[in-house]
Amino acid sequence: MFILENIDLVIFDFDGTLVDSLDDLVDSLNLALDKAGCKTVDPVELKMKLCLGSSSLLDDLIGDQRVLKKTVFGYYKEFYQKNMFNRTKLYDGALEVLQKLSKHKKLSLLTNKREATTRTMLSHFQLDHFFLEIIGGDTLDEKKPSPKPIFHICEKLNVSPERTVMIGDSHADIKAGKSARAKTIGFINGFSTREMLEACQPDVFIESLAEIL
């Protein structure tokens, strides 16, 4: 892809970009809501809202009930640890893209999922060796959409943000990339709708990961 011609570092989002984890996330959240005595939510509605991230989603569902939110989030983490591999799978082309890009580009992973959980999943899918840096939502003191994680990765790998591209499916990915002065690629078959991504104005849209090559 032409956008990669002057790029040394490719940063991938995880959920909704490399792995389709939506069903397991939705199932775990509804199980948590039910266990906490809350009304469960239609899976289709949850899928539309999950691009906000689990914490923001709980704010939307529960409001400012801090104790209840903490309880639900605790149950959610408990259920997700048990269910994370039930239906989660790699997106078509993900492995091939990583194999080919890793031969001539530096690759990193930047997600708002907890780092420990991310590393467990990367190991399960045998993807961890592709990434020189793996940054989770709890690795640094800021997470996407802040550009700070991208700056951190660039500094660690000695690559300028201008020679970096951020690939993701959400506004947080695109906003973080743009704020860091990196190029951005919006994956429209992830968790967000095309309309949501268009509002962020990524440099390029892709419908499949193979288009990156």
Q: What is the pLDDT of residues 134-155, one digit of tens each?
A: 999 999 999 999 999 999 999 9
Q: What is the pLDDT of residues 151-210, one digit of tens each?
A: 999 999 999 999 999 999 999 999 999 999 999 999 999 988 888 899 999 999 999 999
Distances (CA, A) of 158 to 5, 8, 151: 18, 10, 10
Mean pLDDT of 10-18: 98
For residues 93 and 14, membership in a common domain is answered with yes
Q: Is the pTM of this model over 0.85?
A: yes
Looking at residue 46, what is its pLDDT?
79
**Does pLDDT of 120 surpass 80?**
yes
Residues 6+ apart with CB under 8 A from 162: 181, 182
**Residue that finishes a domain, picked among 53, 68, 83:** 83
Q: What is the pLDDT of residues 68-88, one digit of tens each?
A: 999 999 999 999 999 999 999
Mean pLDDT of 116-142: 97
Return the amino acid letter for 16: G
Q: What are phi and psi of 24, to 5 degrees?
A: -70, -35
Number of domains within the chain: 2
**Does pLDDT of 51 surpass 70?**
no
Looking at residue 60, what is its pLDDT?
81
For residues 15 and 111, membership in a common domain is answered with yes
d(Cα 79, Cα 134) in Å, to the nearest integer? Answer: 24
Task: Using pLDDT thresholds of 50, 70 and 90, give the confidence band for residue 55.
Answer: low
DSSP calls for the chain = -GGGTT-SEEEE--BTTTEE-HHHHHHHHHHHHHHTTPPP--HHHHHHHGGG-HHHHHHHHHTT-HHHHHHHHHHHHHHHHHHTTSS-EEPTTHHHHHHHHTTTSEEEEE-SS-HHHHHHHHHHTT-GGG-SEEE-TTTSS--TTSSHHHHHHHHHHT--GGGEEEEESSHHHHHHHHHTT-EEEEETTSSS-HHHHHTT--SEEESSGGGG-
For residues 97 and 78, membership in a common domain is answered with no
Token pair for 73? 């989030």
What CATH number did the domain enclosing 186 receive? Answer: 3.40.50.1000
d(Cα 201, Cα 185) in Å, to the nearest integer? Answer: 9
For residues 9 and 59, membership in a common domain is answered with no
Mean pLDDT of 60-69: 87
For residues 125 and 142, membership in a common domain is answered with yes
13 in active site: yes
Of 8, 13, 15, 24, the catalytic one is: 13
**Does pLDDT of 64 surpass 90?**
no
Return the amino acid letter for 39: K
Task: Using pLDDT thresholds of 50, 70 and 90, give the confidence band for residue 110.
Answer: very high
Looking at residue 62, what is its pLDDT?
86
Looking at residue 52, what is its pLDDT?
61
For residues 173 and 109, membership in a common domain is answered with yes
For residues 10 and 26, membership in a common domain is answered with no
For residues 69 and 101, membership in a common domain is answered with no
Percent of the chain scored above 70 by pLDDT?
97
Domain range for 77? 22-83
d(Cα 151, Cα 110) in Å, to the nearest integer? Answer: 11
Q: What is the pLDDT of residues 37-50, one digit of tens each?
A: 998 988 877 777 77
Token pair for 113? 């999922």
